[in-house]
Each structure stands twice: as structure tokens, then as C-alpha cells.
Amino acid sequence: MLRIRKLQLLCMILILIPASSFSLFRAQAEPAKQDNVVPFLQELFADRTRLLMDQDKKHIKDHYLLTDKRSNYAYLHEMNRAEYIQEWAKHRNLKIVNAESSIRIARAEVLGDTAKVSLVQSLKLSYEYLDNYPGQHDFGIGTRHGITLKKKDNRWYVEREWYSDPLEENSKKIQKSDLFFTPHKDAATPERVIHKYNRARAVDYANKYAGTTWGAGNGQRYNQKYLDYNSRGGDCTNFSSQVIGDKEEGGGLPMKSGWHYLYGNGGSQAWVQTDAFKNFLIRSGYGRIIGQGSFSDIVQSVNERQQHLDKPQLLPGDLIAYVLNGDVDHFSVVVGFDQSGYPLVNSHTADRFKVPFDLGWDKNTKYLLIHIHD
């Protein structure tokens, strides 16, 4: 799968940047501070955040060596992601009204005219609807970065950069739709009634352990009881399994039938692998597919179920699977709905907090709505 192959290319970076290391701001190499690396990085990410608002290349072009192939590639990547998010907003009848970010540096080492940096960016984005539904919705994205800087003429430039970017999509391939969600009839948090599946607690878990993104709890760290699978191809399924299955803080579904986690050793295939997890949910009876298809199909399915409350609804604590070329590529957890009824999700790899569920995906993506039985 394309996204998994991309993630595997990031393994060396992610191994060097464990999630726990992001709980502190620390530039380990003192020379990095003396050589103005940290101020440059703060300025770079502030300017890239401004770029997301207006796509004006003047914000960032002076931070790159545009005649260098690798540096120019990194520059074009930032321009493309800014174009993508603005195009996505346009197609969803939204306007991005605010962008803020912070960085936390795990490692920064300088050797001559080269600096190598590992850091995390916590990004907060806000949008409003153009016509209806007054109010602003805030969501967060967390990304881990490996950056090489080059000094030229006594100033730093980005020479190359790697990160798992949830906005790395072609703006021309966004799924267009004339359909829009209708306000969800139960936009509040799920009622705290204890069934086999503790839905409210599952949502609390998803919000607490969403990771490096703005909005997450636990000091923006993963739950240290579980291994971090980012360096092994992705942590999204491991996180979804935790949300529904953690007996102390999560949904509390009992481990069974090959779906289990051995603390200190790791999860079974059904616990950590996308297709195996999907198959387990359906075969075990824990979950049921209540909608599938393109973005437009999902809008129609969610809206129709709002009109027929006798049918299972998509609720906070349910899951969404993302299918590419017939294989499940990603899982996210539904944690609520925005003003218009747009489903919002949390996930790992990259870390997301209350993000509109299709942001970062394109017209080739198919979705499975999986309702977890209470």
C-alpha cells in the first residue's frame, strides 16, 4: 500500500524520535542554540503556518535553496499542502480562518555548516462555514519531522525534510460532492451509560491519547502502556484497538479470538494490522458496517440514518476505515460532529484531533463506517 510504503521510508526518523521524547522541549546540542538553529526553526514553522492561510510563497521561499533539488522539493511540498487544504475547504463550503502552531525539538546537532534536527509540530487549524452554521471549529494535527539544514552566507536554509504529512494529497484529486451533511441530532458527547462497550470512555481515551497534535491530553504523549508502532508501518490500528479495548480507560471490549495485546510484548495481528482488525470487528460481532463508499456515499448514508433513527447511527466511539485499492490503509476513531454534522476523527500516524474525517484523503479513497455495538 502506497501510504504504508511511505511510512516505512520514515522508519529511521521515527525510531530516532519516540513519542515520549516529545514531552519536553530540548535542543540537546548546546552549539545548536549558539548557532541560531532554534530561532530559525521557530521562524520557519511560523511562516509555514501563515502559508496555510493564504498560499503566499513569499512567507517561505527565502527559507529554501530553490536551486538545490532536495531543498526545492521540500519547498514545493509545503506549497502543495497549502493548496490542498484551501481547495479542500472550498469544496466543503468552508473557510480556514486561523492557523497556529508550536514546535518541540527532540534533537538538534550542528556539525560545521550542517544541522540535523528531529522535532514535532503541533498544528491548530480553525474553520467556519461560508453560509450556515455560525461558529468556529478547531482541530489539530501533529507531525514528526526529520530536517537537515545547510548554512550558506551565514544563514540557515532547509536542505531536506521528511515527515508523515496527513495533508500530502493532490488538490486536483479531492472528492467533489454536491451533498453536505445535515446537523447531527445528537452532537453532544455520548451518554455515560455502562454497556458492554463504554462509548463515552472510549471517546475520552481517544482525546487523551491522540498524541503530538494540538488538543490532545496526556502531555501530548501516547499511552506508555502500549508500544508505538509508528516505526513499524503505522500506529493507527494499534490506537483504535486501544480506544475500544483498553479495560482501564477505554471502551473495555474484552480481548478475544486473536485480538489481544500482551503488555510488554505487543499486539496480535488483529490488534495492529488494518485488514486483520477490520475482519475481526465484523466476524466477532463487535462491529457492523453501516455505510461504505466514496465521500458522497458516506454523506448520503449518514444523513439517511439521521432520518431513520431505528437504524444504527454513526456515533462517537465508532470507527472509520480508509480503503485504497481494495485494502484497508488506515483507521480513525469518531469523536464527535461539527456544527453541520460533519464527522470528526482522532487517529495516530499522523496524529489527528477532531479532524473532519476525509481531510487528507482523495477521490480514490473509499470509506467504511463501522458501528461498534454497545
- Residue ranges in the chain whose pLDDT is less than 70: 1-34, 185-195
Return the residue matching grid coordinates 510484548: 265
Can you name the residues that pair with 355 across neighbouring β-strands? 345
Say what the pLDDT of residue 14 is. 44
- CA 62 to chain centroid, in Å, comes to 28
The helix (H) or strand (E) run that includes residue 79 is helix 69-91
Question: d(Cα 28, Cα 115) in Å, to the nearest integer?
Answer: 12
- Best CA proximity match to 50, nearest among 82, 85, 17, 8: 82
Burial 178-196 (b: 16+ CB within 10 A, else e): eeebeebeeeeebeeeeee
Can you name the residues that pair with 108 across neighbouring β-strands? 117
Cβ atoms 319, 236 nearer than 8 A? no
Task: Look at residue 332 and give its three-state secondary structure.
Answer: strand
Q: Report the number of secondary-structure helices (H) and strands (E) in the chain.
A: 10, 12
Say what the pLDDT of residue 35 is. 81
Say what the pLDDT of residue 190 is. 52
Say what the pLDDT of residue 16 is. 43
229-249: pLDDT as tens digits: 999 989 999 999 999 999 999
Say what the pLDDT of residue 55 is. 96
- Best CA proximity match to 166, nearest among 290, 318, 319, 345: 345
Say what the pLDDT of residue 11 is. 43
Query: Which of 3.30.70.120, 3.30.1490.20, 3.10.450.50, 2.60.120.330 would CATH assign to domain 2-173?
Result: 3.10.450.50
The helix (H) or strand (E) run that includes residue 141 is strand 137-152
Say what the pLDDT of residue 195 is. 63
Q: What is the chain's length?
A: 374
